[in-house]
Amino acid sequence: MIVQCEQCNAKYRLNESRIPEEKAKVKCSRCQHVFFVAKESPSHREPPNPLSIEETPKESTQDSLQCPNCGFEQPPSQDCMKCGIVFSKFRERSEMPPPPYSHNAGGFELDKNLLHDQAEARPMIYAGFWSRFGAYVIDGIVAGIIVKISMWLALLPMTYYFSQGFMSGNPQLGAIPPSLPMALFLGVSLSLALQSLYFILMWGRRGATLGKMAMKIKIVRTDGSDISYGAAFLRYIGTFISGVLFCLGYLWMLWDDKNQTWHDKIASTCVVRPQ
């Protein structure tokens, strides 16, 4: 009897005596598809053939195709039935360009030469004396404005009190009130607090005050990273130490190899000119 595969339509001659029951499972030798075969009725039976399951001569002339990727043999098609590659787009590994980087079993890693070129750091250019001096002058002007504003705010009630005494002609109102020392103390405290916030916040956030921005210099850590608020606070406290002994801590940068002052060394910072 002649049977035909339901998937690849390959035809075979099958000995009906090998079917024990009404139906039997048959496996296609070409596409490995399994399908059921039933016995033919007596009117459609053919003479028994001693041959086992084999492909008919007509279908044997059909050429088979072997996948260049996995080696699976199949009927002619545009893609592989096993691994799914498209034959027209398949390229041998030897024909493919080499990857831009090497990889190992644990993952991917950059090429050593490329990594060396990227990891090479530029040398830092330390700011000189005159650029830092110019920044100090500008920041001194800003600090003076802060002192005047804070003192004016602290003494504003006293000014109003004196003006009322003189305008009314009452000598008691024009006399110096006992709260004047307290007002002066509040004014000085407010000016020092505002100055501290000006330097610490500007250093911690931008790495530079208005004076350093104008001179195009910046405060960084000795390794080149950005300065933190903690380091900015420590550097500001160190400025008072640098001011003792005739400002020797400020002049220390003249012979230091990194142009560091004492407060720079205390906070592990340096002033550079960004590239």
**Which among 9, 124, 10, 119 has a CA at the least distance from the CA of 60?**
10
Q: What is the pLDDT of residue 116?
A: 44
Residue 162 sits at the vertex; the CA angle it makes with 158 and 166, to the nearest 5 degrees, is: 170
Among candidate residues 158, 165, 132, 143, the one with its CA nearest the CA of residue 252: 132
Contact indicator for 135, 142 with CB cutoff of 8 Å: no
What is the per-residue pLDDT for 92?
Answer: 61
How many other CB atoms sit within 10 Å of the CB of residue 267? 26
Which residue, 231, 150, 225, is CA-closest to 186? 150
Q: What is the mean pLDDT of each run of 10 residues along the chain (275 residues)?
A: 76 70 71 73 53 46 71 78 75 58 44 45 84 95 89 73 58 58 79 92 94 94 92 94 90 93 95 88
Distance CA 26, CA 39 (A): 12
What are the residue ranges spanned by the domains of the chain?
2-82, 129-272
The span from the CA of 65 to the CA of 157, in Å, is 101
The single-letter DSSP state of residue 256 is -
Residues 73 and 66: beta-carbon distance below 8 Å = yes
* Residue listed under structure tokens 């110019």: 134
Reported pTM: 0.52
What does the pLDDT read at residue 54? 46
CB 53 within 8 A of CB 26: yes
What distance in Å separates the CA atoms of residue 153 and residue 32, rounded to the nearest whole number? 95
H helix or E strand, kind and range, residue 74: strand 73-74
How far is Cα 54 from Cα 13, in angstroms, rounded to an integer? 6
CA atoms within 13 A on the CB side of 152: 6
Helix 244-251 crosses helix 229-242 at what angle (to 10 degrees)? 130
Pair of tokens at residue 139? 């920041």
Buried b (16+ CB within 10 A) or exposed e, 210-240: ebbeebebbbbeeeeeebeeebbbbbbebbe
Task: Give me the DSSP letters along 169-232.
Answer: T-HHHHSPPTTHHHHHHHHHHHHHHHHHHHHHHHHHHHSS-HHHHHTT-EEEETTSPBPPHHHH
